Each structure stands twice: as C-alpha cells, then as structure tokens.
Amino acid sequence: MRLDRNARVYVAGHRGLVGSAVWRRLEAEGFTRLIGATSRELDLRDRDATMAFFAEHRPEVVIDAAAKVGGILANRDHPTEFLSDNLRIQVNVMDAALSVRTPRLLFLGSSCIYPKYAEQPIRESSLLTGELEPTNDAYAIAKIAGIMQVQAVRRQYGLPWISAMPTNLYGPNDNFDLTSSHVLPALMRRFHDAKQRNLDEVVLWGTGTPRREFLHVDDLADACLFLLEHYDDPQTINVGVGTDVTIRELAETIAKAVGYTGAIGTDPSKPDGTPRKLLDVSRLGALGWKPGIDLEDGVASVYAWYLEHSRGDA
C-alpha cells in the first residue's frame, strides 16, 4: 500500500532523535505535506490543544515519535514523569487521530517493553510474559499501553494502525546530556570530555558485560516508511539489526571514533540493567527490510555530527 506523497503526514516529536530522522526520510522520499509542531507550539500532554490541532490539520498519516525519553539514571530517578507524561502524550495523540479517523498511524515504542529475562533473541510474542526491568518499568508500562491502544482501535474501529518496537537507537540530534542520555551518546560525551581533558581512564557504569543492540536512527526512519507501506497486523513488530555487542565493546568502538587512547575501567557497584536485550527481527526481515548502517560507521558519523553541533562544549 504505497502512501500518497501528497498525503498530510503528521510526525509527532519531529524535532527529536527519531522524529527528525523520520522527517528527513519522508522529505527525501518526496512527501510534500509534512506537519510538525514543537513542544512549545503544541504540548501533547494537553488534551484540548491536541484535539484542536488534529481537528485543524486532519492528518491522513500519523507517526507517533513523541515521548519523554532518557537513560537508566533518568528512568530510575523519575519514574512518575516517565509514566505520566508518556501515557498522556500517546493517549492524546491516538484519541485525537481517532476523532478525525486518521487512516494510518504508526506508534513507536521501545524494546524495554519486553521482560527482563525474556528468551534471546526476543520475539514479539514475549510481550507480557514476565517481569520487567525495574529501572525502566514505568516507561515500559506506558509503551505497552500504547500497543494495547493501537490494538483496541483496530478491533473496535477497523483502522489499520500499527506499532513497532525499535531496539536501542542513536544518531544525529541525540541527547548528549550526561544525566539524562542513553548509553551510547553518554559514552560518546564522556570519551570526548576525557580526550579534551587528557584523562587517563574512563570508568563505565556496571560491569561492562551486558549486551545491547544498536540501530542507527536513519535506518529506523527507513523502516518506518517501509512498515507503513508493507505491514498491517495488530501484533507489534520489532525493528533492529539482529546482532549485539557488550557495553565494553561499544565503549571501545566509541573510544576509537573519538580518538581516546586512555584506559577503560568498570564500576560494578552501579547497575547493569537488563543482562541482554537482542531483538528477533525475523518477521521484519521476512517482509524484505534490513538495516544498512553498521555500528562502527554509524558511531563515526554521529561523532562527526556531535563535533559540528556541539562547538566543543556541549
């Protein structure tokens, strides 16, 4: 089902890591009527404002990439906001989309929705089969609710809405703040700072042994368009690369890109989080999609972007 390139397409969260990549991909593909609003222009937690926005623009396609996101520290310390804000954002967006009967909607979640000890690689059928990782369970519950809302709308109203669960993401426009960022940009910032200050060692949180999968956000954006044109099923679908690395291996890849030559230590007193989180991407692969950016090249390109946009002090 090829999307009309003249359709009104609303990208919620179009200034964020994911939304900005989706926007770039759609522009490159020739979409001419993209709709976006910054959080200052439209607070998606405000139900009345969100309803009015949809009534005015009446999007024919919605890609919901709007969310309050953060790394393990932010999730651990602010679970209330991660639950409340994300629930409100996605409920408002989907209720507003339903009110104007938006034909096609893609809800983006996170691989943290799956149980902490799910069988690896994690299949979509693992959802709701076990205990969540406690450091980000509030965020995970919100995203699970989003999947349920997509499925409920399909059952009750017959609209072909879909949801997708990306693995760990990185890319341009990421958050490099040390207290609220995810592991890859946080490590990139730390290795950059260590290089600038000639530090002898960078110490990783935890043991460095947990394994993680990393997908470049431009690959995710490509997958989003692919899914909107090739996928129509109530079950969520995983988006990833199908391979993973240890946190220490990730650190070594980042250190190489940054040019940091000091030691890399570990601090086992800090939490590791989920021991492994590798997605089974066989369903998406069977549809004919695969990623195109490997980790080493992706990390190098993101560091180049960081240098260009940070002015050396971000």
Write out the binding residues for substrate.
190, 205, 212, 272
Phi, psi of 245 (to 5 degrees): -135, 160
The DSSP letter of residue 210 is -
- The annotated binding site is made up of 13-19, 108-111, 143, 166-169, 182, 190, 205, 212, 272
Write out the DSSP string of 50-106: HHHHHHHH--SEEEE-------HHHHHH-HHHHHHHHHHHHHHHHHHHHHTT-SEEE
Q: Which residues are annotated as a binding site for NADP(+)?
A: 13-19, 108-111, 143, 166-169, 182
Sequence-distant (6+) residues with CB within 8 A of 258 are 188, 191, 192, 195, 303
Using the structure block, give the residue that is written with the tokens 């969100």.
Answer: 50
In residues, how long is the chain?
314
| Cβ(264)–Cβ(204) below 8 Å | yes
3-state SS, residue 19: helix
Sign of CA dihedral 218, 224, 225, 226: positive
Query: Who's near 56: CB < 8 A, 6+ residues apart?
Result: none
The catalytic site residues sit at: 139
b (16+ CB within 10 A) / e for 72-109: bbbbbebbeebbebbbbbbbbbbebbbebebebbbbbb
